Chains A and B, each alone.
Chain A
Amino acid sequence: MRVLVVEDETALRQQLVDALRGAGWAVDQSGTGQEGLYMGNEFPIDLAILDLGLPDMDGLDIMRAWRADGRTFPVLILTARGRWNEKVMGLESGADDYLVKPFHIEEVLARVRALIRRAGGWANSILKAGNIRLDTASQQVTIDNAPVTLTAFEYRLLEYLMLHAGEVISKTTLAEHLYAEDSDRDSNVLEVLIGRLRRKIDPGGVHLPIDTLRGRGYRFSLERISG
């Protein structure tokens, strides 16, 4: 998952970025409205956290511009005023949720998780498909009720595939959403990682949760059970 943070206050932005990275997401960041608008339009992000009180541009205008350009990723707006007038206008201009400053970082993470799940069509924080159970809050994965130990990147990979269960996802898309803009990417590395993940979540090779579609990408193919 790749998240964009647009916030002009450096200290707060850094805290958000750290917390999001800590939660296993790839993060892009911007301190100005102009740059944030550009990043939202150009980068393959899965969610944006947008401060409404930017010095160079009204956050609502950025919001509207994204939606007008057909960007459908969920947006969490941060507002200082906390007046309902502002919240209503924010959500009317296309945002999906709001948080009033000051907030607990945990609250931000919870909202971000919920929005990403909602965008993937999952209502619950626990994603279940076939014999796999993935808890997005605690980042725990169990297979047939037995816990499985995954690396942070493997977890992110599985979470992304499960959130988009049934969809064909190209290697490029996967790379774009799992690595931040400045990271080094290599599709061969991705293939190796997919292989390692398959061995961990389907050691017997019975369920075959991840299909490889030659030349097109991957697809998580187990049937959704809940959420």
Chain B
Amino acid sequence: MAITHDTGEHGLRNWSLRNRVLAAGFVTVAVFMVLTGIALEQAFRETVLTASKERLQARIFMLMGRTELDGSGRPVVFEPLPDAELEVPGSGALAAISNLTGSVYWGSASALDNVPALPIDGAFGVASSGSITLANGEQMRTLSYPVYWEYGADEVTGLVFHAAESTRIVDDELARFRDRLQLWLGGAALCLLALQMLMLTWLMQPLRKVSQELKLIESGARSTLGTQYPGELLPLIRNLNGLLAVNRQRLQRYRNGLADLAHSLKTPLAVIRASSRGDGLDPAVQEQLGRIEATVEYQLQRAATFGRSPLAAPVDVQSAVKRIVETLAKVYHARNLQLDVEIPPGMKFIGDAADLLEVLGNLGDNACKWCKSQVQFSGTLIGTGQSARLMLHVDDDGPGIPAELRARVLQRGGRLDSQTPGQGLGLAMVREMVVEVYQGALEITTSPLGGTRISCIFPGAAEAQA
């Protein structure tokens, strides 16, 4: 039940919240920046074009101010002009004066006596824009201003004043603006995205906390989720805590109930057993009594086996084995057995701690009963990740179980000894727990110590977490 951060490898549908918010934010910022860029550039272009037209107009007025007509009505321009660009060839600026048919009277020094044909149409007193292409391919934006000019005594002639400038002046300005705009908008977009990531981290913090606390619950470090959560999450947290508490209480009630049931069933059985000691019961009654005892024992053991439950902490195998070994050492004190533990530290069993003790206790007790002097507990992990399995061996140096009897001892009621009643159901119970509850396997082989080796294989295993 661990919450994982899905990286989207199973398609969009499984995208994590974080990735969704990030992707949405990225698209929003990108669209916003592109539209803003287009709008700003349009506005700037209009401004630059207007400025260009105003520059041309100013040039025409300056030219008119420096022009007079001679006696024949031809314009004379007083040079040098204050506009230095008109004096430099290739500056991209141009000025000229023509008559109404287009014959050029005067051209600025920048035109090198090679004044191109300029548009002459348009109403008198109104400046009209146009464009031309020079012989070298350069595009020019033009402004023409036709006027009537009086000279001598009441004589009038028509003149057209021209001003032009290369389109590259405006284009350069636009390009510079565009570069700067991209720099700023790009920077702003990056800042916004970074800010969004920070906001997201802050926003997701409660969810991450839930996930961490669930992990702590799984590892057994705490039993409930905390209450320091935003209001939106609190109902969910409370429900989860409630569920955990109810689950624990139910388990505890169930366990208590089982203990009570065991106590109230077995104490009378113990009384009957003890009272039949001297006088001796009818053999048929004895037999039925034995059956009742075996059934009660079996069903109680079955009911007490829990198996795996979500949010349960993995159990440390080494410490469980050591507890069993210490118990066995006390119980079998008189026999002075050698009990060895070969379990690497940090090995974990995924399941119920009491179940593991039950398996180890039954196998260990069995081994101690049959061994000459030595019992060994060992464990290994097979495979890794999802296919990892935990393998536990209990070895003894006793007489061993002949191959043909091995299957029988694993069956219910198939014990080889007929010892004291009620002292555990032995291997059949262990087999049922391992195979049916934990979907594992139980094997009986010959031990390297010479006696019996019983191996339990549990699917799923966890290694020590650093």
Which residues of A approach B to under 8 Å, CB–CB?
9, 11-12, 15-16, 19, 53, 80-85, 87-88, 91-92, 96-98, 100-107, 114, 118, 123
Contacts and interface: CB of A to CB of B under 8 A. Distances in A.
Centre residue among A82, A87, A88, A102 by max chain B CB count within 10 A: A102
Given A114-B334, A118-B334, A83 B270 contact: no
Contacts of A80: 259, 262-263, 265-267
B277 A91 contact: no
B8 to A, nearest CB: 45
B263 A53 contact: yes
A39 to B, nearest CB: 21
Contact of B361 (A53, A88, A114): A88
B285 to A, nearest CB: 14
B263 A100 contact: no
A87 B269 contact: no
Interface residues of B, number: 43
B424 interface: yes
Interface of B: 258-260, 262-263, 265-275, 277, 293, 297, 300-301, 304, 323-324, 326-327, 330-331, 333-334, 336, 353-354, 357-358, 360-362, 420-424
A91 B358 contact: no
Contacts of A102: 266, 269-270, 272-274, 293, 421-422
B326 A91 contact: yes
23 contacts: A11-B271, A12-B270, A15-B271, A81-B262, A81-B300, A82-B262, A82-B297, A82-B422, A87-B327, A88-B324, A92-B323, A92-B326, A100-B266, A102-B266, A102-B270, A102-B272, A102-B273, A102-B274, A103-B421, A104-B421, A105-B274, A105-B277, A106-B277
Q: What 8 pairs across the A-B complex have the smallest Cβ distances?
A: A84-B361, A102-B270, A53-B263, A102-B269, A80-B263, A101-B266, A15-B274, A85-B354
Contact of A85 (B268, B357, B424): B357
Contacts of A123: 334, 336
Nearest to B362: A84
Given A84-B360, A85-B354, A104-B420, A97 B330 contact: yes
Contacts of A100: 266, 422-424
A15 B424 contact: no
Given A92-B323, A118-B333, A118-B334, A82 B271 contact: no
